[in-house]
Amino acid sequence: MKPLLGFVVLASIATPNLAWAQEQPLKVVYPPTNHKTTSDKIFFIGTAPPTGQVFINGKPITRSESGHFAPSFPLQIGENTFTIRHSDQQIEIEVIRTSTQPEVPQGLNFAKDSLTPKVDIARLPGELICFSAIAPPSATVSVNLGDNKRVPLLLQPPQAQLPSNLAALTGTNQPQNATKSEYSGCTVAEANQLATPKYQLTLNSQTITQEAPGKITVLQPSQLPVVEVSAEFGVARTGPSTNYSRLTPLPKGTRSAVTGKTGEWLRLDYGAWIKSSETVALPNAIVPNTIIRSVASSQSQDSTKVSFPLQTPVPVSVKQESDRFTLTLHNTTAQTDTIPFNDNPFISGMDWQQIPPSPGINSGAVQYIFNLKKNQQWGYKLGYEGTTLKLKLRHPPELRRSRRKPLSGIKILIDPGHGGKELGAVGPTGLPEKDVNLTISKLLRQELEKKGATVVMTREEDKFVSLGDRQKIIASEEPTLALSVHYNALPDYGDAENTKGIGMFWYHPQAHSLAIFLHNYLVKKLDRPSYGVFWNNLALTRPEAAPSLLLELGFMSNPEEFEWVTNPKQQKKLARTLADGIVKWLKDNR
């Protein structure tokens, strides 16, 4: 896995080969020299002959039986030089720590890149528009909008600086006190306003002015621009950057009015944000709203399909619960009297309700609630055909009563992480994660096929496969389960020397039970440490066509666990145990 930073290794040695070990050179695979980080510490991943000691800046370090190491050392702001030595071998590495806080100016000036808005923005009349700048704590700061509007900015009490999302993976998820000197203030957007904010700073009877990088436009509610999603699935988010959380993706063809803009990001009328590059403008189009009347359904052995005829493709949202699937059609008003819905092996019934409009241009929404007969869901597909929304809910798989072939008729997709130019993590000897992933995936395929399963692999050799292509394979194959095989790593501030264990990552609730079960099963049966089970917004946990997991089967950055992971006997045992766990979970949850 390399969403963090990480390392992973594959080797073909079960026990240390001392002859080989004596010949191996001192090696440091991480960090590279001149590495830049904002972390207050750094770990060193590497190996050396197991005899003798390894010193880092004169301090002896702990190593595994085979000579691998992963100690951490503190970093000061600026340049940090480390000398790694074993016998007559020596390596020098420089690590540069940069600050996450902007430097507060001492004189008559604003901090670099601190003025907002940083990009052009557009807002509706009546919305708050807030400004901020970093300046000396004894200054007087304001913003002028045109000739007649001045917004005073007041010095704010320090706000906590939030940790990154990766901090939750290292047990360091604590806010830090901010030290910056920030001035802030807000005003209400006025109709037909167009302005470039001009900041003014006065200190010791001296004054300077500086324009903000971005301009402000106030939209006219009667003439809002309308866009259509041009990407296969538009990435909707809670805010205008990739730092914000993902929402239900918008199918191609979805139409929405634009109620705000921040740089390249558009705010759609139901509140989500999307990149403008994933849309096309629809000149002269009015704000998209629709009514809905009839809803039709049909079922086959493996799925139930539901059609929602609409006047125009509107934004949609999905919410999964253990025994409920809720579909929301935004900007929609119900004129529904009749819904045919026959007895169904998977769905006990469907309800609907009208959601009143919220203040603004939103015209309300209609929610369809599918009440399920069991607590496990098996995937869904959602998209537009013309102006009709099509929903496909998959039924539980059929398991044949066979002791020798319990997975007959079951399709399982295995995704060996990384490949080709994408190495993934790298372990102490420099071996890449991509190789371990492929080895374990092939062993798992053998075990699953012995049990009768049909196995689909996203790659069977060392080649690059993009995340988008991996997702497309899952969507087209519609497997019973999709498993992405990885090994784990840590960000710079992690404890690589002591962090180990098996982890599972899920996104859709339909995969949660599987993640919990396989994690517990592997930890118990293999007597391995637990790293934990995580909800995580990863490319290979997001596919909704099947319960999809990303498996982190150990930490290659940990010197001791590295030796377990690269042991061929343990690799085979891991594959067998994982296959057994899949069989048991399917039997218990279908």
Write the pLDDT tens digit of every residue in 238-261. 999 999 999 999 999 999 999 999
Structural tokens at position 16:
């240390």
Q: What is the mean pLDDT of the chain?
A: 92
- Mean pLDDT, residues 37-53 taken together: 96
Distance CA 588, CA 357 (A): 43
Residue type at position 567: N
Predicted local distance difference test score (pLDDT) of residue 3: 40
Write the pLDDT tens digit of every residue in 426-443. 999 999 999 999 999 999
Structural tokens at position 400:
């044949």
What DSSP string runs through 194-232?
A: EE--EEEEEETTEEEEEE-SS-EEE--GGG--EEEE-SS
* Backbone angles phi and psi of 184, in degrees to 5: -140, 155
- Mean pLDDT, residues 277-294 taken together: 95
Predicted local distance difference test score (pLDDT) of residue 180: 76
Cα 334 off chain centre by: 35
Name the nearest CA neighbour of 405 among 447, 440, 456: 447
Distance CA 263, CA 558 (A): 42
pLDDT tops 80 at residue 386? yes
Task: Centre a 10 Å sphere on the Cβ of residue 57 and count the other Cβ atoms it contains.
Answer: 11
Predicted local distance difference test score (pLDDT) of residue 21: 44
Predicted local distance difference test score (pLDDT) of residue 5: 36
Distance CA 590, CA 588 (A): 6
226-229 and 255-262: which strand pairing? antiparallel
Distance CA 297, CA 392 (A): 10
- Residue 96 DSSP label: E
Q: Reduce the DSSP state of residue 269 to 3 states and report it.
A: coil
Write the pLDDT tens digit of every residue in 192-248. 777 899 999 999 999 999 999 999 999 999 999 999 999 999 999 999 999 999 999
Name the nearest CA neighbour of 455 among 418, 493, 485, 423: 485
Q: What is the pTM of this model?
A: 0.92
Structural tokens at position 537:
């917004």
Cβ neighbours of residue 166 closer than 8 Å, sequence gap 6 or more: 4, 491
Structural tokens at position 414:
């295995």
Cβ neighbours of residue 168 closer than 8 Å, sequence gap 6 or more: 534
Structural tokens at position 442:
């092939």
Sign of CA dihedral 444, 447, 451, 456: positive
pLDDT category at 23 given cuts 50, 70, 90 is low
**What does each C-alpha distance from 466 to 1, 108, 245, 505 come to in angstroms?**
14, 49, 22, 19
Distance CA 25, CA 47 (A): 8
Write the pLDDT tens digit of every residue in 334-381. 998 888 888 899 999 999 999 998 766 667 999 999 999 999 999 999
Distance CA 526, CA 438 (A): 20
Question: CA angle at residue 456 from 453 to 459, to 5 degrees?
Answer: 145
